[in-house]
Structures are given as structure tokens and as C-alpha cells.
Amino acid sequence: MIKNIKNFLIKLDKFIIDVVIYIGDISIFIYEIFKNLFSKPFYFKEFINSMENIGYRSIPIVVTVTFFSGMIITLNIGKSMDAIVKGTSQYIGSGILLVMLKEFGPVLTSISLISRVGAGITAQISMMKATEQIDALEVMSISPIKLLVIPNVLAMIIMAPLLSSIGVVSGIIGGLVMVVTYLDQSPNTYIDKVLMVLKANDIIDMIIKSSILGFFIAVVSSYYGMKSEGGARGVGIYTTRSVVASFVFIVIVDYVVTSLLITIRKLLS
């Protein structure tokens, strides 16, 4: 019994130390990004390529995920609302907007970006490190962070809110399709209820949240790419770690940002 407790405490102690070291490493990496962010040179071509990869090429997956999410929410909640209080399903448009705008839009977009872009960033940087291209850049006095990390970070901060906005609209359209075909409501009623609860503050909060989540996706993906080791085998290992860590980060960051935004709104009101 005493031996088991001792082993547990040893493992717990190691876990806490590993977490502290991990947070320290991520913090130092973020500091390096900000330190290089405002210094020359700025690789504009890489930034434009990142904008295209993160933004334009991610539209299909974002639209697909959010459109069907809007349909699923309407399908599950619409009839349930009438079952609880008859006639309340007419307000499903308001619910869909709030859910998509406050949570599902930014989070589902982030999940899509992790799956399509984040994993790709980690794999690309990991492969460059495995083939010693990172070392070659350093020999030529080219900062890997400025060339490989900063363009992705800036592009993600800019494109994540735009993709989230597209996702919100797509989710609302998905809800509209289900309202018309499943709940037998008129499109005008649905749109009226959507516009009834639409507020500028919620749109601003969505933009802020999406940008912050996008920032952390780019940072975590780049971090694991730069930390990868073990050659070609390490590429797969660190890409998997990157995806898992990114999911954990967006859940935690989403909660923290949401709490802060709610607190700020209360103080300002």
C-alpha cells in the first residue's frame, strides 16, 4: 500500500515537472515569435502563400462541417423545443445564431484548421528538420522562425475570423434548410428570429476568439515541428502530438477567452 502511494506520488511529481517545463518551452517559443515579428526581413511571399493555404483552401471543409452542424443542431433541438413548450420551435433561428456565433463557429473552424492546416505545418517543418534544411537555413543566417513560423501565425490570425464568419453563415443556412424541410416553418420566420438576436458585440467577440484560437493553433503546430526529432519516423509522431495538443489548447483557451469576454462585457455594461 505504502509502496503504491510512493509510486503514485513519484509519477505525479514527474507529471507536474513535465507540465511546467512544457509551459515554459511554449512560453519561450511565443516570446521568440514576438521578438522576431517586428524585425526585418519580412517574407511577404511566404505570408501570401500561407494566407491562400489557410484561408481559401480551407473554405470547403469549414463550410461542410458548419453547414451540417447547423442541420444537426436544428434536427435535434427543433422538435424538442415544441415538446417542452408548444410553439417555441419558431425561435430556433435565434438559438442557431447564438450557438454558431458564440461557440460553434470559432471552435468548429479551429478544429477544421487543426485537421487540415495545423497537421500540415507540423509535418512540413518536421520534414525540413529531419532533412537538415533547418540547419541549412541557420547556416545561411536565415531565421527559421521568421521564414517558417511567423507567416503562418500572421495568416492564421487574419484568416481564422474570416473562416469563422463563413462558418457561422453556413451553419445558419444549414439550420434554415432543416427548418423549412423538417419543421415546416417559413424562411421569413427563421430569418426574423436570427436578426432579432444579432448584436455587434457578439460578432466582435467571435472575431477576437477566432483570432486567438488561430494564433495558438499556428504556435502549437509550429512548436512541435521545430521540436521534432527522430528523423522521418519522428515526423508522424510529432504531427500526432501536435494535433492532440492543439485540440487540448483550443478547449482550454476557448474557456479562458469566453470567461474573460463575459467578465469584460459585465464590467462595461
Q: pLDDT for 235-252, tens place per residue?
A: 889 999 999 999 999 999
Model confidence, pTM: 0.90
Specify the residue for cell string 519522428.
234
Mean pLDDT of 200-221: 93
- Please enumerate, as own/partner, the contacts of 177-182 that have beta carbons within 8 Å and a separation of 24 or more: 177/71, 178/70, 178/71, 178/74, 178/75, 178/78, 179/74, 179/78, 179/92, 179/93, 182/74, 182/75, 182/78
Comparing 220 with 133, which gets the higher pLDDT?
220
Q: pLDDT for 28-40, tens place per residue?
A: 999 999 988 888 8
Count the neighbouring beta carbons within 10 Å of the beta carbon of residue 223. Answer: 27
Q: List the alpha helices (DSSP H) in 38-186.
A: 44-54, 59-84, 92-99, 105-113, 119-130, 133-139, 144, 150-181
